Amino acid sequence: MSEFVSGRHFLQTPGPTNLPERVLRAMDRNAINHRGPEFGALGREVIARLRHVLQTAAIIGIFPASGTGAWESALVNTLAPGDRILISRTGQFSHLWEQMARRLGLDVATLETDWRRGADAGAIHSALAEDREHRIKAVCAVHSETSTSCMTDIPAVRSAIDRAAHPALLFVDAISSLGCADYRHDEWGVDVTIAGTQKGLMAPPGLSFTAIGDKALAAARAGGSARSYWDWAPLVAANQTGFFPYTPAINLLFALNEALAMLAEEGLPAVFARHARYAQATRLAAAAWGLELQCADPAAYAPGVTAIRTPDGHSADKLRNVILERFNMSLGNGLGRLEDRIFRIGHMGDLGVLTFTGTLTGVEMGLRAAGIPHQEGGVQAAMNFLAAGGAAA
């Protein structure tokens, strides 16, 4: 087989996502002096634009790290070893966050789910109501569980905390929902939001950030764990000046700034409606194929990714390999306990309608080539919906 493959690779993983040409051009330039005035203006602009997508006026701490680093910063700035946290294990990402918390010496109370729905706000409420001594210091929730394509209702979690009149902080991982779904750090009363660049924000991997509310800032000032690199204190100052306490990832910031400008130009409501349309079209295709969705709760369907189960006895990884080899497209794999049971179609970030329908075409051809039992007509169902205007339900 010749090594050369004609045409553009379809990167339809739920992160990293496709980089728009404008973002590629924005970072394709020399670095600048990170202590000079041009950088200060860039830093301030990126922070202002991040506030816009997070719908917040909060302090934003940016780290040259993947999302995992921002998870750690949230935990070590506000909590000390032995502090108790409550986390719902809704999928592989909450599992990894939970494991990190244990390694950091936190006392973790875990609420289990079947990985087919979001966190159960009622269970969170009960756990908090029983905690009369207020030993639980923080509740951790993953807004969009990228491994299962299920959303957690963050306002419902907030209200569970409030109804229990519990002082725990609320930490939300919005890594794969930001730029795909409506997200309101301030209005929803989130104390720390964690997000990263390589999913809905259409920028390269390598940057992550935390939006830090006043209560979390106070907790960080009063205590937390031993920390140095992840410390928020020097980053608080950066919100006014735009400068960082060390060499920032300058070219990634050029990229992120351009991507955020694009989101503002499209307008957040249009961005969210576009994601909802593609998600619904994907579900219509899955239904026509006769394949089952991993997310079993229609109220929790994620807008940026759809996880689809292969029929029992049929390898999802084999399907993905066939699609990669034959049709030059990458899809997300099943993670953790879902390994080889599901494949995930990423429809987040920079995605035009034809690239999106091309993605579904690759899946449908792959199902046939891999011998997965299915019915035809998934692409047709999606096209019918989109051609009719795709009024997202």
Ligand X SMILES: *Cc1c(COP(=O)(O)O)cnc(C)c1O
Strands (E) in 79-156, as ranges, are: 84-89, 107-112, 136-142, 144-145, 150-151
Least separation, in Å, of the C-beta of 142 and ligand X? 5
Contact indicator for 235, 62 with CB cutoff of 8 Å: yes
C-alpha span between 82 and 302 (Å, rounded): 34
Least separation, in Å, of the C-beta of 134 and ligand X? 27
C-alpha span between 84 and 138 (Å, rounded): 7
Residue choice 56, 176, 306, 310 for contact with ligand X (CB under 6 A)? 176
- Please identify, among the stretches 37-45, 117-125, 170-178, 324-332, the one whose residues bind ligand X according to the rule CB under 6 A: 170-178
Least separation, in Å, of the C-beta of 63 and ligand X? 11
Exposure on the CB side of residue 232, measured as CA atoms within 13 A: 33
Could you say whether residue 251 binds ligand X (CB under 6 A)? no
**In the structure encoding, which two tokens stand for residue 321, read together?**
């390999």
Nearer to ligand X, 146 or 294 (CB): 146
Q: Which whole-number Å values give the CA distances from 304 to 118, 145, 176, 226, 345, in the listed order?
A: 15, 10, 7, 36, 9
What residues numbered 30-89 form the site for ligand X, per CB under 6 A?
66-68
Least separation, in Å, of the C-beta of 208 and ligand X? 6
What residues numbered 178-207 form the site for ligand X, per CB under 6 A?
196, 199
- Please identify, among the stretches 142-150, 209-217, 251-259, 333-341, the one whose residues bind ligand X according to the rule CB under 6 A: 142-150
- Please identify, among the stretches 173-181, 286-294, 306-314, 329-337, the one whose residues bind ligand X according to the rule CB under 6 A: 173-181
Could you say whether residue 93 binds ligand X (CB under 6 A)? yes
Nearer to ligand X, 177 or 357 (CB): 177
Q: What share of the chain is helix, strand, coil (3-state, %, to 5)?
A: 45, 15, 40
Could you say whether residue 142 binds ligand X (CB under 6 A)? yes
Could you say whether residue 16 binds ligand X (CB under 6 A)? no
Residue choice 27, 175, 300, 307 for contact with ligand X (CB under 6 A)? 175
Q: Give the chain's radius of gyration (CA, Å).
A: 21
Beta-sheet pairing, 136-142 with 84-89: parallel
φ, ψ (nearest 5 deg) of residue 301: -60, 130
Site size for ligand X (CB under 6 A): 13
Beta-sheet pairing, 169-173 with 192-196: parallel
Residues that bind ligand X (CB under 6 A): 15, 66-68, 93, 142, 144, 146, 173, 175-176, 196, 199
